[in-house]
A and B are shown apart, each in its own frame.
Chain A
Amino acid sequence: MNTNQWNRLQTIDRRVIYAILLVVILIPLFFPITLPTFPSKQSRNFYDTIEKIAKDSPDKIVIVDGWWSPSTRGENQWQAQAIITHLMMRHLHFAILSFDTQNNTVTQSQIVEPLAKKYGYVYGKDYVNWGFRPLAAFVPVAKGLVIDIPGTIKKDYKGTPITQFPVMKGIKTRSDVGALIEITPSASAEGWLGMFEKNNSPPFLFAPTAVMAPTYYPYLDTGQMAGMLTGIKGAGDYEGLLGTHSFGSRAAGALSLVYALIIALIVLGNIGYYATRAASRKEDR
C-alpha cells in the first residue's frame, strides 16, 4: 500500500464515523446486551450510607439538592431516579432543594410524583419540596441550613410554610439531617463541603455527571464524601444494587460498545499514522 492508501485511515469522513456510532448505540437498545456489572466502591458506599441511615437514624431528613436541568438528563435524571427510589424503598423522609430553575419542576413532576404513587409517598407527610433558590443565594442558604432550617427555607415550592408539614416536625438544624445528596452537572459540591459540612457530618453523597467525577476522587479519599455515583455508570451500578433495572442498566451495554468503537478508531488512526510515515520514508528512499 502507498502513502495515500494508509492516509485514508486518518481521514475517514466524520459522517461515516457518526453513522457507525449511531448504529452501535442503537443495537443494544433494540437487542439489550446483559453485561455482568460490578458496582464501583464509591457506588456501593453511597448505597450503604443510605442503608445505614435507614437503620440508625430513620427520623432524620435527607436533603436531595439538584443543580441539573434537562440538558444533562441523560445522566442526572437516572441518578436522581435511582436515589429517590432507594429513599422511598427504605421509607426515609426527604426534602427536595434546587439551585436551577428547571430542576425543581423536573424533579418534582418527572421523578418524585410518579415514584410517590408507586411507593405510597404522601406530600408533606413523607417528603417536602423546599423549592428553588437562585445561585446567588447559595452561601446564605447553605450557612442558614446549619443553624436554622425552618427559618432559612420558610415556605415550600407552593408557598405553604414548611413548619405546617408533619415531615418537618423536629427538623431544626444540621444535626437533624441524615445526609446531603447533591445531584449535579457542575462543581457545586465544593460550596456544600465548605459552607455546610463539618467533619463529614451529615454524610455528603455526590452524584455528578461523569465529566465532573475525576476532580472529586480526592474528596472520597479524605472521607469528605461518603459515596459517589459517576454519571450513567453510577446510575447503572445503583439500579443493580437496588434490583430495579431501568435506563442506567440498559445504557451500560450501549456505552460499552461505544467505548469499543472509540478504542478501535483510535487504534486505526494510529496504525494509519505510523504506516503513512513508514510508507513516506520508503518512497523518499
Chain B
Amino acid sequence: MEYIRHLFNPILLFGALGTMAILSLVFKENRFYRVFEHVFLGLALGYDLEFTWTTILRPLFWDAMVRDGQWAWVMTVPVGLMFYGIYTQRFTWMSRVVFGIFFGLNAGAVFQDFAGRVVPQVTKSFLPSKSLIPPPPIPGDPHALLHQISFVLNNFLFLGIVVSVLVYFLFAFEQKNKAVLRTAQIGRWVLMFAFGAIFGSTIMTRMALLIDRMYFIFHDWLRLVKG
C-alpha cells in the first residue's frame, strides 16, 4: 500500500510522466509530447517571472519606492520604456539612446575582459625556445626520463599545433607555397581532432542526462534500482 502511495505521489508521478512524454519524441511526434512540451515551457516561464519579481523587482524596486519612499526609482520606468521605441519609426531614436549607453558600458567592460582573460593565453603561448630542452630530473623520480621526454614532446606538439593552425587561418594571401600548404593542411587536421573531441563530449553530456532520467524513473520513482 505504501508503495502504491509512493507511485502516485503527485510530484514524482508528474516528473515520471513528463520524462516519458518528452522522450517519446524519439519514436514519433505525438500529442503526449506536445502537451508536456507546453507544460514545461509554461512552467519555466512562469517560474522565471515570479522569481524575478519576488527576489529582484519587488525588494529592490517596488518596495524601495512604496515602502521606503525612494521615489527616484520611478525614473527608471520611462528609461526602460525607451527600449520599446524600436517598434515605431517615430520613436526609434529613443531606443538608440539607451542602446547606445548600454553598448558603451559593455564596450568598456570588454576591454577589461580581454585583458584579464585573453591576454594571459596569448602570452603563455609564446613558449621560449628553452621549452624544448628538458628540465633537470626531480630527485627520486622513478620515471624521470619518461617525464623529460613527455615534457619536450608536449611542448613540441603545442608549438607545432599553434603554428599550423595560425597558418591555416592566414587568408590574407593565396597559399601557393608547398610548405605553407602542408602546414595549413596539418592545421586543418588538428582542428578536426578538436571538433571531434567537442562532438564526443556532446555525446557524453546527452548520455549523462539520459542516464540521470533513467535513474530518476527506476530508482526515485519505481524503486526498482537499489542503492
Show the binding face of A for B, using Cβ within 8 Å.
Answer: 14-15, 18, 21-22, 25-26, 29-30, 32, 72-75, 77, 101-102, 104-105, 131-134, 139, 143, 155, 157, 159, 190-191, 193-195, 197-198, 209-215, 218-219, 221-224, 230-233, 247, 250-251, 254-255, 258, 262
Tell me the complex Cα distance, A195–B219, Å: 42
Question: Does B109 have its Cβ within 8 Å of any Cβ on chain A?
Answer: yes
Flag if B208 contacts A101 (CB, 8 Å): no
- Digitize B195-223: 1 where CB-to-A-CB distance is under 8 Å, 0 elsewhere: 00110011111011111111100110000
Give every chain A residue within 8 A of B55 (Cβ-Cβ): 104, 131-132, 157
Q: Closest chain B residue to A215 by CB distance?
A: B198
- Contact flag A214-B210 (CB < 8 Å), given A157-B55, A233-B204: no
Flag if A74 contacts B116 (CB, 8 Å): no
Interface of chain B: mostly helix, strand, loop or mixed: helix
Give every chain A residue within 8 A of B207 (Cβ-Cβ): 25, 254-255, 258
Q: Closest chain B residue to A199 by CB distance?
A: B120
Flag if A210 contacts B121 (CB, 8 Å): no
Tell me the complex Cα distance, A144–B117, Å: 18
**How many whole Å from B146's CB to the nearest CB in chain A?**
16
Other A-B pairs, 15, CB within 8 Å; known A191-B113, A224-B121, A258-B207: A14-B26, A15-B27, A30-B225, A72-B205, A133-B56, A139-B106, A155-B59, A194-B117, A214-B201, A215-B198, A218-B121, A222-B120, A231-B205, A250-B215, A255-B204
**How many whole Å from A183's CB to the nearest CB in chain B?**
14
Tell me the complex Cα distance, A29–B225, Å: 7
Could you list 15 examples of A-B contacts with CB < 8 Å?
A26-B218, A72-B205, A72-B209, A74-B209, A74-B210, A74-B212, A77-B212, A101-B48, A131-B55, A134-B56, A210-B201, A210-B204, A219-B121, A221-B124, A232-B208
Number of residue pairs spanning A and B whose beta carbons lie under 8 angstroms apart: 132
Q: Closest chain B residue to A28 by CB distance?
A: B211
Flag if B214 contacts A29 (CB, 8 Å): yes
Question: Does B51 have its Cβ within 8 Å of any Cβ on chain A?
Answer: yes
Give every chain B residue within 8 A of A218 (Cβ-Cβ): 121
**How many whole Å from B12's CB to the nearest CB in chain A?**
14
State how many residues of chain B have any CB contact under 8 Å with chain A: 44
**How many whole Å from A142's CB to the nearest CB in chain B?**
9
Give every chain A residue within 8 A of B198 (Cβ-Cβ): 211, 214-215
Flag if B51 contacts A222 (CB, 8 Å): no
Q: Which 5 A/B pairs are nearest by Cβ-Cβ distance?
A: A74-B212, A194-B113, A74-B209, A210-B204, A232-B208
Flag if B219 contacts A29 (CB, 8 Å): yes
Question: Does B52 have its Cβ within 8 Å of any Cβ on chain A?
Answer: yes
Flag if B59 contacts A18 (CB, 8 Å): no
Show the binding face of B for A, using Cβ within 8 Å.
Answer: 26-27, 44, 47-48, 51-52, 55-56, 59, 105-106, 109, 112-117, 120-121, 124, 194, 197-198, 201-205, 207-215, 218-219, 224-225, 227
Flag if A74 contacts B211 (CB, 8 Å): yes
Q: Closest chain B residue to A69 by CB distance?
A: B44
**Best-buried of B109, B202, B205, B225 by chain A (most CB within 10 Å):** B205
Give every chain B residue within 8 A of A223 (Cβ-Cβ): 124
Flag if B116 contacts A251 (CB, 8 Å): no
Give every chain B residue within 8 A of A139 (Cβ-Cβ): 105-106, 109
Flag if B113 contacts A190 (CB, 8 Å): yes
Flag if B51 contacts A132 (CB, 8 Å): yes
Give every chain A residue within 8 A of B194 (Cβ-Cβ): 214
Give every chain A residue within 8 A of B117 (Cβ-Cβ): 190, 193-194, 224
Give every chain A residue within 8 A of B26 (Cβ-Cβ): 14-15, 18
Tell me the complex Cα distance, A273–B48, Å: 48
**How many whole Å from B193's CB to the nearest CB in chain A?**
10
Tell me the complex Cα distance, A237–B205, Å: 16
Tell me the complex Cα distance, A72–B209, Å: 7
**How many whole Å from A38's CB to the nearest CB in chain B?**
16
Tell me the complex Cα distance, A15–B23, Å: 12
**How many whole Å from A190's CB to the nearest CB in chain B?**
6
Give every chain A residue within 8 A of B215 (Cβ-Cβ): 29, 247, 250-251
Tell me the complex Cα distance, A33–B48, Å: 40
Flag if B116 contacts A194 (CB, 8 Å): yes
Flag if A195 contacts B208 (CB, 8 Å): no
**How many whole Å from A202's CB to the nearest CB in chain B?**
14
**How many whole Å from B83's CB to the nearest CB in chain A?**
12
**How many whole Å from B8's CB to the nearest CB in chain A?**
22
- Contact flag A75-B208 (CB < 8 Å), given A29-B214, A101-B47: yes
Tell me the complex Cα distance, A5–B5, Å: 51
Give every chain B residue within 8 A of A230 (Cβ-Cβ): 201
Give every chain A residue within 8 A of B112 (Cβ-Cβ): 194-195
